[in-house]
Amino acid sequence: MRRVSVILVALAALVLAGCGREGGPGQTPSEQLTFPVAQNVQVPGSATFAKIQQAGRVKMGVKNDQPGLGVQDPTTGQYTGFDIEMGRMIAAGLGVPADRIDYVVVPSAAREDAISRGDVDYYVGTYTINDNRKQRVGFAGPYYQAGQDLLVRADDTSITGPQTLMGKKVCSVTGSTPIQRVRQQNLTQPENVVEFQTYSQCVNQLIARQVDAVTTDDAILKGFAAQDPQQLKVVGQVFSQEPYGIGVPRDDVAFRNKVNDLLQQAETDGTWQRIYDATLGKSGTPATPPAIQRY
């Protein structure tokens, strides 16, 4: 009897360990990153930090369908990726452990609303810093430098860069900087611009031959291509600069300064590199952190 229960306990432990593991079937589980949780943190004058402290939890805005950056594993429910780990590092620096983070999935078009309404305390999800968005939100960072590129079917030889898109159906996401650029630069006819809420929807359209290209940041497109190299390839002609920032409430300057301090520290002490190497860097492309720009 005793032996049976010992075996049962051991089995239960195995099942639990399996549940906690990240990475779906067929994927190598990503290295589990941990960040020391800061003690006695104070951010004088920050309403956002006061809210976090009172709740004892962080509401973190994320994407859940961007491989290498922000993905939720459908079987385990676990979030992984470069943006997710950056967000966990910030939470730890604010004194909040990983198990007290509430993930709030917000698509590109809804980010400014979600941040300004307070639906999220901060947002980490391939969010380009620009002056237009700064009218409604604040940005800490940049913590990564991406650039707009194109994803096409692996057998396509007709699309070699932004100047070869005329007459092609081009898919991107509502409220994103890449879709704006396609329209402003007239890279294809207005009726050929196809718009969805998420990049995974665009990628499905590309595979189904309903569109000819997906355009957004190279970092995002490389993740999709790596998942399906038989069918997809990245063109590799970057035609914009997309500095990624952590979105914060616009007027909470004390909070923005604190997040900048934490990013700066992570860039200096090797934490940034550790996060990169365990996530985006697995593709083999080396990268170094960009300089923080305080404003």
Kindly tell me which of 112 and 252 has the beta carbon lying closer to ligand GLU. Answer: 112
* Ramachandran category for residue 39: left, alpha or beta (phi over 0 → left; psi -120 to 50 → alpha): beta
Query: In the complex, what is the shortest distance from the CB of residue 147 to ligand GLU, in angstroms, rounded to a whole number?
Result: 9
Nearest-angstrom CA–CA distance, 18 and 6:
18
Q: Which of 123, 127, 224, 276 binds ligand GLU (CB under 6 A)?
A: 127
**What string marks each residue from 63 to 92 as x (binds ligand GLU by CB under 6 A) or -?**
------------------------------
Kindly tell me which of 64 and 108 has the beta carbon lying closer to ligand GLU. Answer: 108
- Phi, psi (5° rounding) for residue 237? -115, 95
Give, as one character, the DSSP assignment of residue 270: S
Q: Which of 30, 46, 108, 279 binds ligand GLU (CB under 6 A)?
A: 108
Q: Which of 60, 84, 91, 173 binds ligand GLU (CB under 6 A)?
A: 173
Kindly tell me which of 46 and 200 has the beta carbon lying closer to ligand GLU. Answer: 200
Per the CB < 8 A criterion, the answer to whether 66 and 125 are in contact is: yes
Per the CB < 8 A criterion, the answer to whether 183 and 244 are in contact is: no
Binding to ligand GLU by residue 126, rule CB under 6 A?
yes
Query: In the complex, what is the shortest distance from the CB of residue 111 to ligand GLU, in angstroms, rounded to a whole number?
Result: 8
* Ramachandran category for residue 280: left, alpha or beta (phi over 0 → left; psi -120 to 50 → alpha): alpha
**What string marks each residue from 202 to 231 as x (binds ligand GLU by CB under 6 A) or -?**
--------------xx--------------
Query: In the complex, what is the shortest distance from the CB of residue 250 to ligand GLU, in angstroms, rounded to a whole number?
Result: 16
248: Cβ–Cβ under 8 A, 6 or more apart, which residues? Answer: 48, 115, 121, 122, 123, 137, 138, 139, 140, 255, 256, 259
Binding to ligand GLU by residue 178, rule CB under 6 A?
yes
Query: In the complex, what is the shortest distance from the CB of residue 251 to ligand GLU, in angstroms, rounded to a whole number?
Result: 21
* Residue ranges that bind ligand GLU, judged by CB under 6 A: 108, 125-128, 173, 176-178, 216-217, 242
